[in-house]
Amino acid sequence: MAEKQMPSFVLVDDDEEDRYFIRQALHQLGSSYPVVEFGNGIDFIDYLRQELADKGSEKVLWLVLMDIHMPEINGIEVLNTMHEHPLWQQVPVIMFTTLPDQDKELIALGASACIQKPLSVSELSQQMNTTFAPWLENPAVME
Which domain, by its residues, includes 121?
A: 8-137
pLDDT at 141 over 50: no
Total domain count for the chain? 1
Residue 133 placed within a domain: yes
Q: What is the 3-state secondary structure (H, E, C) of the chain?
A: CCCCCCCEEEEECCCHHHHHHHHHHHHHCCCCCCEEEECCHHHHHHHHHHHHHHHCCCCCCEEEEEECCCCCCCHHHHHHHHCCCHHHHCCCEEEEECCCCCHHHHHHCCCCEEEECCCCHHHHHHHHHHHHHHHHHCHHHHC
- Supply the CATH number for residue 105's domain: 3.40.50.2300
Q: Tell me the per-residue pLDDT of 59-116, one tens digit each, with 9 for 90 and over.
A: 778 899 999 999 999 999 999 999 998 888 888 999 999 988 888 999 999 999 999 9
Q: Is residue 118 part of a domain?
A: yes
Model confidence at 29, in pLDDT bands (50, 70, 90)? confident
Determine, yes or no, domain membership for 143: no
pLDDT of residue 140: 52
The reply to whether 75 falls in a domain is yes
Report pLDDT digits (tens) over 113-131. Answer: 999 988 889 998 888 888 8
Window from 3-12, 47-56, 134-143 with minimum mean pLDDT: 134-143
Rounded to two decimals, the pTM is 0.88
pLDDT given for residue 142 in this prediction: 38
What pLDDT shows up at residue 3? 54
Q: Is residue 142 part of a domain?
A: no
